[in-house]
Structure 1
Amino acid sequence: MEARKVIKELDPYVPGRSEDEIANEFNVKKEDIVKLGSNENPWGPSKKAVEAIKKEADGVNRYPETDLHLLVDELASYAGVKSENVIVTGDGADELIDVLAKTFIEPGDEFITPLPTYTYYEFLFKPYGAVPVYAKWDLKNNALDVQSVLDAISDKTKFIFLCSPNNPTGTLVSEGDLRTIIEATDALVIIDEAYFEFSEQTQVNLINEYDNVFIIRTMSKVMGLAGLRIGYGLSNPDVIQYMYRIKPVFSLTRLSYVASLATLRDKEYIKESTAKSIESRDYLYQEVSKFKNLHVLESKSNFMLIDLHDSGYTAAELTNRLMSKGMIVRDCTSFKGIDEYYIRISVASLDDDKRFIEALHTLVD
């Protein structure tokens, strides 16, 4: 059977490499691998979340509860909004993006995405007939090119995606720039705050001022639940209620539900996880900045982008050399709007950070 034309033409999403892949390909012991490629929380989940999962394990023969009000209330409190402003999904932020498309996209609608950015926006929207229009991030100045976004707006624009901090550049979009864009259009402006905890900044106040703002968040990063895939969105009640009409009823599993509640209630874990991530990021930025042939972009996230143009390596070459030493980093060649000379590294423990820097010194000046 032939797939639809749009699916056959869709560029596949390229995920980061796993520890098992690297161990097998490069004959490296799995326990010696340092993983800096997937923007994960290297310190693990909340112990309270693990205990909650163990207690709930005997109930996985039952369907999940459909009444998520306890979790919605906790998320609303964490975000500083009302419960009516919250939607929870069970496949991370990716399900939010998919539900947005299923709820609002008509074939031929346009969506704006500045490049380079998280590629899954396009991957999920195009199958519904949405047409991408590209704006840009200014890599030289490490900032959003606001005018390129404004120039891309047309009467067909339905969504504008702004990742802040942006993946892979780590750049924040200022509140002033967001307001300029929001006020220039009736399109729904999607502010992806998957990494907002690391920046210690949020634009959640904008959902109370504008009807055309939607904020994406996830529990995969600072909250250490990437393996359970929990996302949540914040917007005005009308948008939220339309999305609930189409969202799969049982997309949030029983284990995800109890782990989410336990993590949100473990305030000390969230505080400590955030602090450790920022400490690691700042250390990595400081050390990579000392390399004369590398240029690292300052980041407000738990990762940073490194320019290799003067290093003598392409991203693929340096990535492979590092992986042979047990260091997993992200080759960013698959990101649209970027060439083959950028890698991304994410935070690890300070001990692993030091091992990475030592390995890098053996390859680059």
Structure 2
Amino acid sequence: MKPRAIVSEMDSYVPGKSQDEIASEFNLNKDEIIKLGSNENPFGPSTKAIEAIENECKNINRYPESVLNELQQELANYSGVKQSQIIIGGDGADEIIDVLAKTFINEGDEFIVPLPSYMYYEYLLQQYGARPVYAEWNMNENKLDIDSVLNSITDKTKMIFLCTPNNPTGTLIDKKDIKDIASKNPDVLIVVDEAYFEYAEVTNKDLINEFDNIFIIRTMSKVMGLAGMRTGYGLACSEIIEYMHRIKPVFSLTRLSYVAALNTLRDKDYIETSIEKGIESREYLYNELSKIDSLNVFPSKSNFMLIGIKDTGFTASEFAVELMKKGVIVRDCTSFKGLDEYWIRISICTLEEDKKFIEIVKEVLS
């Protein structure tokens, strides 16, 4: 049985390695492994979310709610938008991207991704017959090359993906640049990925009232500590949201992910502390790693940072293996289009784990 042609041509998405994989491969104690490869929240979920999940377990024989009014309203309050401007999806923000594709992409359409960036956009949209067109990040100045985006637009362009802070560079995109692209291309959907906006303390959510061709992606997998619950959401004008609700799976959010999301949003102290501790960890890692001459550490506004390792004498895959042997998982960025084999990405951990990681890096490099 042969798959569709596009499936035969596609590369598989390469996720970060898990603690179970590394423990098995290198005969390590899983509980002692430091995981810096997947941009997760290392401080654990809200205790209120855990309590809500435990209470809801007795109801998992019932279908989840199909109308998510209560959660929509909490997200609207959190985001400072109208309830009609919110859509919620399961499978993190990935389902939101998938529903965008199902709603707006026709076979033969083009979409633009500045490289390097989050490659799951490409993975999802190609399934619907869309063709990726690559713009550029200026790696020397660590910012978006807006001219490369504008020059890539054709009459086939349907979407432009702008990740801010950008994954993997940690870069913020200037709001003026987003407005410039949106205003010059009213028939193109500008998809602004704000998965990490809390760590940057910057948002572009006000633009959805100014432009009806801007869509903002968000997730509860990062600051909210719910990566395992797979909950994402999007912000846009009410018309776009209504179209997407026609396509979105009815029961995509489980009962447990629903109550976890709802109670996390209501735990304001947890969210505030999560942001503060995340930024503290990021700044500690940046300051300490920047003292190592052979590392090219990019400043970041997210919960991760990109590190060039060419001067260490290792490739990214070699360096990652040496760290894994010592119980540390980092992201080998060789699979990111737009980067060569000399880049890794690390995410925040607890300060105790950060300090242990710094010592292990120095040990490997020595």
TM-score bracket, normalised by the shorter chain, equals over 0.9
Report deviation, 1:363.
Answer: 1.8
Per-residue CA deviations over 1:71-109 (Å, capped at 9, x if unaligned) read: 000000000000000000011100000000001111111
- 1:345 aligned onto 2:357: no
What residue is the counterpart of 2:98 in the other structure? 98
CA contact (8 A) 1:97 1:124 kept: yes
Per-residue CA deviations over 1:271-315 (Å, capped at 9, x if unaligned) read: 000000000000000011001111000000000000011110000
- 1-structure distance, mates of 2:365, 2:274: 31
What residue is the counterpart of 2:122 in the other structure? 122
- 1:174 aligned onto 2:161: no
What residue is the counterpart of 1:27 in the other structure? 27
Aligned AA (1:235): A
Paired residue secondary structure (1:217): strand
Unaligned residue ranges in structure 1 (runs of 5+): none
Paired residue secondary structure (1:73): helix
Paired residue secondary structure (1:361): helix
Aligned AA (1:230): T
Runs of 4+ displaced beyond 2 Å: none
- 2-structure distance, mates of 1:237, 1:104: 15
- 2-structure distance, mates of 1:106, 1:271: 41
Report deviation, 1:30.
Answer: 1.2
TM-score (norm 2): 0.99
- 1:218 aligned onto 2:252: no
What residue is the counterpart of 1:55 in the other structure? 55
What residue is the counterpart of 1:66 in the other structure? 66
- 2-structure distance, mates of 1:88, 1:284: 33
CA contact (8 A) 1:291 1:364 kept: no
Report deviation, 1:138.
Answer: 1.2
What residue is the counterpart of 2:110 in the other structure? 110
Identical aligned residues as a percent:
62
What residue is the counterpart of 1:278 in the other structure? 279
What residue is the counterpart of 1:265 in the other structure? 266
Report deviation, 1:139.
Answer: 1.2
Report deviation, 1:228.
Answer: 0.6
- 1-structure distance, mates of 2:301, 2:228: 24
- 2-structure distance, mates of 1:181, 1:103: 22
Paired residue secondary structure (1:204): coil
What residue is the counterpart of 1:138 in the other structure? 138
- 1:295 aligned onto 2:296: yes
CA contact (8 A) 1:307 1:341 kept: yes
Report deviation, 1:364.
Answer: 2.0
CA contact (8 A) 1:190 1:214 kept: yes
- 1:197 aligned onto 2:198: yes
Task: Give the aligned CA root-mean-square deviation in angstroms.
Answer: 0.6
What residue is the counterpart of 2:83 in the other structure? 83
- 2-structure distance, mates of 1:18, 1:100: 29
| 1:310-325 correspondence to structure 2 within 5 Å | 310-325=311-326
- 2-structure distance, mates of 1:14, 1:209: 36
Report deviation, 1:175.
Answer: 0.7
Per-residue CA deviations over 1:214-253 (Å, capped at 9, x if unaligned) read: 0000000000000010000000011000000010000000
| 1:213-252 correspondence to structure 2 within 5 Å | 213-252=214-253
- 1-structure distance, mates of 2:55, 2:132: 45
- 2-structure distance, mates of 1:364, 1:80: 47
- 2-structure distance, mates of 1:97, 1:30: 33
- 2-structure distance, mates of 1:355, 1:364: 14
- 1-structure distance, mates of 2:161, 2:184: 14
Unaligned residue ranges in structure 2 (runs of 5+): none
Paired residue secondary structure (1:183): helix
- 1-structure distance, mates of 2:15, 2:111: 23
Report deviation, 1:27.
Answer: 1.3
**Which segment is superposed worse, 342-351 or 179-188?**
179-188
CA contact (8 A) 1:305 1:342 kept: yes
TM-score (norm 1): 0.99
| 1:325-344 correspondence to structure 2 within 5 Å | 325-344=326-345
Number of equivalences: 365
